[in-house]
Amino acid sequence: MDTTKIIVKELDIKGEISHLWSSWRNAIHLVAQGKVNLKPLVSHVFPLKDWKKFFDLAATSADALRVALTPG
């Protein structure tokens, strides 16, 4: 990353991290133990061939919590 423009223009850059790898590891462990039910988190499931419907719904519907694609 060329930082010259940041330095010359005295820009402030802020970042954030939305998760830690340890959080993912803990979540996977809890799911594997059956302590977390993921089904309520997915509102819609579409086969890959219906990808257009998938994207349209995910982009426009307030009812789409999490929309998933399946290979079949």
Say which residues have a Cβ less than 8 Å from residue 41's Cβ, sequence separation at least 6: 65, 66
Judged against a pLDDT cut of 80, whether residue 28 lies above it is answered with yes
Q: Where are the domains of the chain?
A: 39-72
Taking residues 21-29, report their average pLDDT: 91
Instruction: State the Cα–Cα distance between residues 21 and 26, nearest whole angstrom.
Output: 9
Coil, helix or strand at residue 67: strand
pTM (two decimals): 0.49
Judged against a pLDDT cut of 80, whether residue 67 lies above it is answered with yes
